[in-house]
Structure 1
Amino acid sequence: MQHQSIDHRRVASSAAWLRNYYVIRFAVSAAWVVLAFTVARQAPMIAAVMLVAYPAWDALANFIDAKRSGGLGRNRSQLLNVVVSGLTAIAVAVALGRGMNSVLAVFGVWAVLAGLFQLATAIRRWSAFGAQWAMILSGAQSALAGAFFVTMASSPAVPGIADIAPYAAFGAFYFLVSAIWLTVGNARRGSTSAAI
Structure 2
Amino acid sequence: MLAQNSDHNLARVSNRWLKSYYFVRFAVSAVWVALAFTVAKTMPPLAAIMLVAYPAWDALANLVDAQRTGGLSRNKSQLLNFVISLLTALAVAIALTNSNNAVLAVYGVWAVLSGLFQLITAARRWKINGAQWAMILSGAQSALAGVFFVRMAGGVEAIGITNVAPYAAFGAFYFLVSAVWLVVSDILRKSPQIAD
User: Under TM normalisation by the shorter chain, which class is it?
Assistant: over 0.9
Question: Which residue of structure 2 lines up, in the alignment, with residue 17 of structure 1?
Answer: 17
Question: Which residue of structure 1 lines up, in the alignment, with residue 64 of structure 2?
Answer: 64
1:74-131 deviation per Cα after TM superposition (whole angstroms, max 9, x unaligned): 0000000000000000000000000100000000000000000000000000111111
Question: Which residue of structure 1 lines up, in the alignment, with residue 183 of structure 2?
Answer: 183
Question: Which residue of structure 2 lines up, in the alignment, with residue 165 of structure 1?
Answer: 165
Question: Which residue of structure 2 lines up, in the alignment, with residue 82 of structure 1?
Answer: 82
- Structure 1 residues 151, 65: closer, same or farther in 2, change over 3 A? same
Question: Which residue of structure 2 lines up, in the alignment, with residue 141 of structure 1?
Answer: 141
TM-score by length of 1: 0.96
Give the C-alpha shift of residue 156 in structure 1.
1.2
Q: 1: distance between equivalents of 2:191 and 2:2?
A: 18
Moved more, 87-96 or 124-133: 124-133
1:51-86 deviation per Cα after TM superposition (whole angstroms, max 9, x unaligned): 000000000000000000000000000000000000
Q: 2: distance between equivalents of 1:157 and 1:139?
A: 26
- Structure 1 residues 193, 158: closer, same or farther in 2, change over 3 A? same
| Structure 1, unpaired ranges of 5+ | none
Q: 1: distance between equivalents of 2:91 and 2:182?
A: 35
Amino acid at match of 1:53: A
Give the C-alpha shift of residue 7 in structure 1.
3.8
Question: Which residue of structure 1 lines up, in the alignment, with residue 120 of structure 2?
Answer: 120
Question: Which residue of structure 1 lines up, in the alignment, with residue 108 of structure 2?
Answer: 108
Q: Return structure 1 stretches of 4+ with deviation > 2 angstroms.
A: 1-10, 190-196
1:131-172 deviation per Cα after TM superposition (whole angstroms, max 9, x unaligned): 100000000000000000000000012200001000000000
TM-score by length of 2: 0.96
Match of 1:73, SS?
A: coil
Give the C-alpha shift of residue 4 in structure 1.
4.6
Amino acid at match of 1:162: T
Match of 1:155, SS?
A: coil
Q: 1: distance between equivalents of 2:183 and 2:102?
A: 40
Q: 2: distance between equivalents of 1:125 and 1:47?
A: 34
- Structure 1 residues 169, 84: closer, same or farther in 2, change over 3 A? same
Over the matched positions of the two proteins, sequence identity in percent amounts to 65
